[in-house]
Amino acid sequence: MIGQQLRFSFEFFPPKTDAGLEKFRVVRSQLAQLKPEFFSVTYGAGGSTRDTTLSTVLETQNHSGIATAPHLSSVGDTRDSLRQLLNQYKDEGINRIVALRGDLPSGMGATGELTYASDLVKFIREETGDHFQLEVAAYPEVHPQAVSADADLKAFKLKVDAGANSAITQYFFNIEAYHYFMDMCDKAAIDIPIYPGIMPITNFTNLARFSDNCGAEIPRWIRKRLEGYGDDIESIKQFGEEVITRLVETLIDNGAPGIHFYTMNQAKPILAIWDNLSLNELA
Ligand code: FAD
Region 21-48: what's the mean pLDDT?
95
Please give the share of the chain, as a percent, with pLDDT higher than 70. Answer: 96
| pLDDT score, position 40 | 98
Find out whether the beta carbon of 116 lies less than 6 Å from any atom of ligand 1.
yes
Region 155-175: what's the mean pLDDT?
98
The model's pTM: 0.97
Whole-number Å distance, alpha carbon 148 to ligand 1 midpoint, is: 14
- Check whether 109 has a pLDDT greater than 70: no
Active-site residue, 11 included: yes
Region 193-204: what's the mean pLDDT?
97
Region 79-83: what's the mean pLDDT?
95
Q: Are strands 197-198 and 38-41 parallel, antiparallel or unpaired?
A: unpaired
Residue to mutate (ligand 1; options 74, 116, 161, 261; most atoms within 8 A of CB): 116
| pLDDT score, position 1 | 54
Whole-number Å distance, alpha carbon 138 to ligand 1 midpoint, is: 8
Lowest mean pLDDT among 59-63, 132-136, 187-191, 210-214: 210-214
- Check whether 107 has a pLDDT greater than 90: no
What is the rounded average pLDDT for all residues in the chain? Answer: 95
Ordered structural domains, the chain, with CATH: 7-281 (3.20.20.220)
Task: Ligand 1, residue 45: give the atom nearest the CA.
Answer: 25
- Residues 228 and 15: their CA atoms lie apart, in Å, by 32
Region 211-221: what's the mean pLDDT?
95
Residue to mutate (ligand 1; options 54, 143, 190; most atoms within 8 A of CB): 143
Task: Ligand 1, residue 143: give the atom nearest the CA.
Answer: 9
Indicate the burial class of 6 (C-beta count within 10 angstroms; 0-12, 13-18, 19 or more). Answer: middle
